[in-house]
């Protein structure tokens, strides 16, 4: 079955869910343009998610995707937290902040019974997961709503695992992609394949349709993904340039300077590997550090630094999520971007 | 000007020069099939190179490419060498070898006056460089032979540098590619872009034609590269499966097990980052180590370990160069592979 038939959409394009940056307005614009908009839930409380879903459903009758993180919350490790706070303390002192001030919890909520009830209430046509899949009883409840279920794989092995666990399609997430790596069978970044290598090997290994993600931010990337055998594409960073994206000013300014080689995969901001534009913290601590505590807690001690710096127009401590192709996209409204991405090549 | 016109070839495909693995027979087979065969010189003495060139020229009248490394030989650092030997000593003991036995020099010869004289004598139609370009007086002598000059860029910044220094085309080498990274403006591997992101940004930045490399090992990859805006493709790993490749048996066996996610970029074998299939040394030392001495010296202390293990059918200490798409290609003769790669998609 084609992806367009599977999801009931016109264009084989998914706007990537980007927690914090994607707004209901973005989702609606993409859906109304004929592609699949994705609403991310990881930074919402259940009540905030209900409000966002109500906003989406009030503005479009087209299919949309609701995305959840499905990590297992870590066992509390107060010693690791204190080591991280100690590592960051010189920055606090430099910024005039008290490194001993209480740290707020840094939350990315995993899919659970409460969120599942929201799915049952709003019945999104597509539900996507990141970091694998939730436990089978929860997944069965999602399936019972009639939702198509998809998830991300950063290796063929993860794609096979997802297919064996019954997903309707797999997002093949190449190493170029921005934001959190969907990796769940292992977090070794040294062996992560790029989109060019991953997609055809995933297509050969799976029976379900493969959605290509990573490094796709213009019509050339879309055409290349289809040449590689993908059934659809998922695009993230390009939508960060749209007026519908809700990102800090320092993030938008950094995106305007995005190049092919000024991003890196870092675990400093959340504890889990994610690609973003290089900034001071990444340069000085090293983008991947054993000192960062477990996902999603690393951001807590960073929050005051980030707020102080952002207020002064500095991106020193802000996660500047972006993929390696972010520089290819131009600022334009989300609906226009959706149509532009799917434009045939050689068409001006 | 198109790449085929520029090089005087029929198919916009370059067989990548793979020092040690590429034979004159491979170069001839590729050239006769209508693409550009590339003879690597880095593991040859000038006399060996003359013999190989004579063999190529005796068997084909078609254009071919002669490739050189153009690194600056490192300042001797005996202390770093001893640290590296100490790091490897437990392996020597385990293998029944004397860690204190004299170490042979590990050579990859850079382009110099002697090699330049070989270029002037044999006048290859295309000369490619890796690790930047040689000093201007040498480069001027190469240009004076009428050779087209190309080199590899792993970032847009390197591509711009090469264009400013007068190359006729740039090889955009994505992070997926096997063997030595062509990087020369910096060796930070954390920010290296994948082919999908690199090629279109390189095409937008340069006036000279862009040759896509990295992750291309079947007709889908070739078609994708052209969709991204490449004027030609360069393919390496796929040719390692051919009978014309000269590689150790353990390397050929490992290639048969190549997957999307069992390679990594490592500096352990030569001192410079290069992508190969994971093996024991890479797993245990970590693929990128500050302990490896400067290029090209790291291989010296490894040679006895490698010889002992290979004789016993083990790839524990052998550089198993391969890109992330090596698993896509099937064993077939080099001429057949050349035609298969350029086959239009949807053609069975």
Can you tell me the mean pLDDT for B31-60? 97
Residue B347's CB is within 10 A of a number of other CB atoms, namely 6
Please state the domain extents for chain B.
1-71+108-244+333-348, 75-106+247-327
Can you tell me the mean pLDDT for B90-101? 97
How is A80-140 classified by DSSP, letter by letter?
HHHHHHHHHHHHHHHTT--TTSPPPP---PBP-HHHHHHHHHH--SEEEEESS---HHHHH
B26: β partners: none
pLDDT tens digits, one per residue of A241-275? 999 999 999 999 999 999 999 999 999 999 999 99
A260–B197: do the CB atoms touch at under 8 Å? yes
CATH architecture of B1-71+108-244+333-348: Alpha-Beta Barrel (3.20)
How high is the pLDDT of residue B109? Answer: 84
Per-residue confidence band for B144, with pLDDT thresholds at 50, 70 and 90: very high
How high is the pLDDT of residue B347? Answer: 46
How high is the pLDDT of residue B106? Answer: 75
Report the phi/psi class of residue B32: left, alpha or beta, with left for phi > 0 and alpha for psi in -120 to 50: alpha
What share of chain B has pLDDT > 90, as a percent? Answer: 96
Q: Is the pLDDT of residue A288 over 90?
A: yes
B348 Cβ contact list (under 8 Å, min separation 6): none
The answer to whether the peptide bond before residue A97 is cis (omega within 30 degrees of 0) is: no
Find, in chain B, the residue whose alpha carbon is nearest to that of A213: B196
The torsion angles phi and psi of A197, rounded to 5 degrees, stand at -90, -35
Q: Is the pLDDT of residue A347 over 60?
A: no
Per-residue confidence band for A104, with pLDDT thresholds at 50, 70 and 90: confident
The three-state DSSP-derived secondary structure of chain B is: CCHHHHHCCCCCEEECCCCCCCCHHHHHHHHHCCCEEEEECCCCCHHHHHHHHHHHHHHCCCCEEEEEECCCCCCCCHHHHHHHHHHHHHHHHHCCCCCCCCCCCCCCCECCHHHHHHHHHHCCCEEEEECCCCCHHHHHHHHHCCCEEEEEECCHHHHHHHHHCCCCEEEEECCCCCEECCCCCCCCHHHCCCHHHHHHHHHHHCCCCEEEECCCCCHHHHHHHHHCCCCEEEECHHHHCCCCCCCCHHHHHHHHCCCCCCEEEECCCCCCCEEEECCHHHHHHCCCCCCCCCCCCCHHHHHHHHHHHHHCCCCCCCCCECCCCHHHCCCCCHHHHHHHHCCCCCCC
Q: Is the pLDDT of residue B340 over 60?
A: yes
Per-residue confidence band for A120, with pLDDT thresholds at 50, 70 and 90: very high
Contacts of A229 in chain B (CB under 8 A): 220
Question: A with B: how many residue pairs have Cβ under 8 Å apart?
Answer: 156
The alpha carbon of residue A189 is apart from the nearest alpha carbon of chain B, in Å, by 9
How high is the pLDDT of residue A106? Answer: 75
Per-residue confidence band for B348, with pLDDT thresholds at 50, 70 and 90: very low
Kind plus residue range of the DSSP H or E element containing A307: helix A299-311
The alpha carbon of residue B155 is apart from the nearest alpha carbon of chain A, in Å, by 6
How high is the pLDDT of residue B105? Answer: 83
pLDDT tens digits, one per residue of B147-201? 999 999 999 999 999 999 999 999 999 999 999 999 999 999 999 999 999 999 9
Q: What is the mean pLDDT of chain B?
A: 97
pLDDT tens digits, one per residue of A175-193? 999 999 999 999 999 999 9
Contacts of B323 in chain A (CB under 8 A): 197
Q: What is the DSSP secondary structure assignment for residue A193, as one 8-state letter?
A: P
What share of chain B has pLDDT > 70, as a percent? Answer: 99
Q: Is the pLDDT of residue B11 over 80?
A: yes
B136 Cβ contact list (under 8 Å, min separation 6): none
Q: Which of A190, A218, A228 sits opposite B200 (nearest CB)?
A: A218
How high is the pLDDT of residue B346? Answer: 72
Q: Which of A174, A192, A224 sits opposite B228 (nearest CB)?
A: A224
Sheet with B210-213, edge to edge strand ranges: B13-15, B232-235, B210-213, B169-173, B148-153, B126-130, B64-69, B37-40
How high is the pLDDT of residue A76? Answer: 94
What share of chain A has pLDDT > 90, as a percent? Answer: 96
The alpha carbon of residue A97 is apart from the nearest alpha carbon of chain B, in Å, by 31
Report the phi/psi class of residue A63: left, alpha or beta, with left for phi > 0 and alpha for psi in -120 to 50: beta
How high is the pLDDT of residue A108? Answer: 81
- Whether chain B has a CB inside 8 Å of the CB on A183: the answer is no
């Amino acid at each position: 079955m084609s992806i367009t038939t599977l999801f009931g959409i016109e264009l084989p394009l998914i706007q990537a869910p980007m927690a914090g940056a994607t707004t209901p307005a973005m989702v609606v614009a993409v859906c109304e343009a004929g592609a699949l908009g994705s609403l991310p839930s990881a930074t919402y409380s259940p009540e905030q998610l209900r409000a966002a879903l109500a906003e989406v459903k009030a503005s479009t009758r087209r299919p949309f995707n609701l995305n959840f993180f499905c990590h297992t919350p870590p066992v509390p490790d107060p010693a690791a937290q204190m080591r991280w706070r100690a590592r960051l303390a010189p920055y606090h002192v430099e910024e005039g902040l008290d490194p001993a001030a209480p740290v707020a919890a840094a939350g990315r909520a995993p899919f659970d019974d409460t969120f599942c009830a929201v799915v049952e209430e709003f019945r999104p046509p597509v539900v996507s997961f990141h970091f694998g899949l939730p436990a089978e009883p929860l997944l069965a409840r999602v399936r019972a709503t009639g939702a198509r279920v998809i998830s991300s794989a950063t290796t063929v092995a993860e794609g096979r695992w997802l297919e064996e666990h019954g997903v309707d399609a797999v997002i093949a997430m190449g190493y170029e992609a921005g934001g959190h790596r969907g990796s769940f069978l292992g977090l070794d970044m040294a062996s992560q394949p790029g989109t060019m290598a991953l997609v055809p090997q995933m297509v050969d290994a799976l029976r379900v349709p493969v959605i290509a993600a990573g490094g796709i931010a213009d019509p050339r990337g879309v055409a290349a993904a289809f040449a590689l055998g993908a059934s659809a594409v998922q695009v993230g960073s390009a939508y960060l340039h749209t007026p519908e994206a809700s990102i800090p000013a320092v993030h938008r300014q950094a995106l305007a300077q995005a190049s092919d080689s000024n991003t890196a995969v870092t675990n400093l901001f959340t504890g889990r590997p994610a690609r973003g534009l290089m900034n001071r913290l990444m340069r000085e601590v090293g983008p991947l550090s054993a000192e960062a505590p477990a996902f999603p807690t690393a951001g807590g001690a960073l929050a005051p630094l980030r707020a102080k710096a952002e207020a002064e127009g500095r991106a020193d401590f802000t996660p500047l999520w972006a993929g390696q192709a972010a520089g290819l996209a131009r600022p334009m409204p989300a609906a226009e971007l959706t149509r532009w991405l799917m434009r045939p090549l050689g068409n001006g």
